[in-house]
Structure formats: structure tokens, C-alpha cells
Structure 1
């Protein structure tokens, strides 16, 4: 991976739908050359996929929160709990972490009442701490 590939990745990170022609003009390569480099990075696993950015407020999401969990059960149960929590519709990500906490959950909720309901649901897995996201 060279400096041109890094610039291509930077541009795709800003806008994953950017045309190869536009990227090429910016860095001085042809659209086919950009396409070849992108395909190579996909084949090598550097680019794993492309993401969609959604305006959640327009979908009625008022509350976003990070929730950390200290599990009731031992480490063996953590991966099972992680799978079950990850499957819940409110959960955007559920990561196993080091430190005092076992899991860190990013959740999107219609409102605070919805968040409270979610916290009650996951209380069976462990003790939670919640940080509501005020601004991104």
C-alpha cells in the first residue's frame, strides 16, 4: 500500500460513493487505474465493505447512548450474552472490552423511556452504566 492508496482510502472514507473519475482527478490517475487499485484493496481485505450513513433523527431516534456492562456470570457467558445483546434491534454495536467492564454497547432509542425499557431488559446480564450521547 502506497501514498496513492492511502489517499484513495481517505477519499472513500469521506464519501464511499465517490466516482473513480473524481478520485482520479484529485490524485492524478485515470478512473480505470483507481478502479484497479480499489479492487486490489478489496481483494487484499483492506477494504472490507462500504457503509451507509443514516440520519437517525429523521427516523425518530432521539436518544443515543453508550452502555457498559459488568457481567453477572464469568467470562464464558460473556460471548453468549454479547450475541444475544447484539441481536437486539436497538443495538448498533456490542464490543467486548478490557478493564472493569465486559461489554460496551452503542444503542439508539426513540426516547428516554425506550432507553429505560432497554436497560431493564439487559439487566439480566449484568450491572450497567449509561452515558447518553449529547453531540457527535
Structure 2
């Protein structure tokens, strides 16, 4: 599907607020509500728009600690980890990466005790390295054309 400036403008508005009405998007970018709806439907059909999600505040929900944890899997343990990681409720993002480590995870935790318990579970799969997140410099940056 060809992504023109109007489609990118629609995506930018939806990334700011997925609940915004098609008429509001249309007013901002100069299209009618039905035209916006048709373009959104086509982007959904093409798989460009995959889902609409809630962006919640982990901190306000009681998870005061965020961390990045890398894992260097022990020989023969990577496959087992990949099959199990989806069961770790603390893990909000997990990527398989190149380099010395195999995995990088973003995790949310209640406190340091919770972090210690998670690390105890992770070290059965490999060597971990933990980085506590102090703040988010770029908050949910939208995907823009020309990247």
C-alpha cells in the first residue's frame, strides 16, 4: 500500500490518541470523515495498523521501578528462555539482539525485592545485567515518514 502524506498525517493523529474521531482527524488534515475512515480501513487491511492499545502508567498502577535487563543465555538455554519469557508478567518488551547478549528486556516491577525475585528466575537461563531506568527522554515517539 502506498503511504502518502495524508495517510501519514492520519497515523500521526492516531498515534497521539487512538480514540480520536475520524471527523476530528478530517478537520485537522483536510479530509471528510468517510474519507478518513476509508483510509484507516485500508491501512488496517494492509496490516499497517495492527491494533489499538491502552497506554497505561505503570507507576500509578503500583509498579514504581522500571529496568532494562540483558541476558546472555547459557549454552542450550536460549530456546527454553524464548518459550518461557511470555509467562514473565514483568516483561513488557523483549527483543532478541546481536552482540554479547542474546536478549534485551524492558521490565516493570513493584520494588527492589520484586526485581531480585525476577533476576533469581532469569539467572537459570543465563547471565543478566540490569540497568535501572531513571526517566524516559522520548515518550512514545510516533513513527514518522522519512525514517
TM-score between both structures, scaled by the size of structure 2: 0.87
Corresponding position of 2:142: none
Cα pair 1:82 1:95 within 8 Å, conserved: no
Stretches of structure 2 lacking an aligned partner (at least 5 in a row): 137-147
Corresponding position of 1:73: 75
What does 1:35-114 align with in structure 2 at a 5 Å threshold? Answer: 35-74=37-76, 77-114=77-114
Q: Quote how far apart the aligned CAs of 1:79 are.
A: 3.5
- Post-superposition CA distance 1:24-72 (Å, at most 9, x none): 0001101111000000000001111112110111211010111000000
Q: 2:85 & 2:43 partners in 1: Cα distance?
A: 32
Runs of 4+ in 1 over 6 A off after TM superposition: none
**Pairing 1:12–2:39 present:** no
Give the count of matched residue pairs: 134
**RMSD over aligned Cα atoms:** 1.0
Cα pair 1:69 1:128 within 8 Å, conserved: yes
Aligned counterpart for 1:22 among listed residues 21, 24, 46: 24
Corresponding position of 1:130: 130
Q: Quote how far apart the aligned CAs of 1:89 are.
A: 1.1
Stretches of structure 1 lacking an aligned partner (at least 5 in a row): none
Report the 3-state secondary structure (helix = DSSP H, G, I; strand = E; otherwise coil) of the residue aligned with 1:80: helix
Higher helix residue share:
1
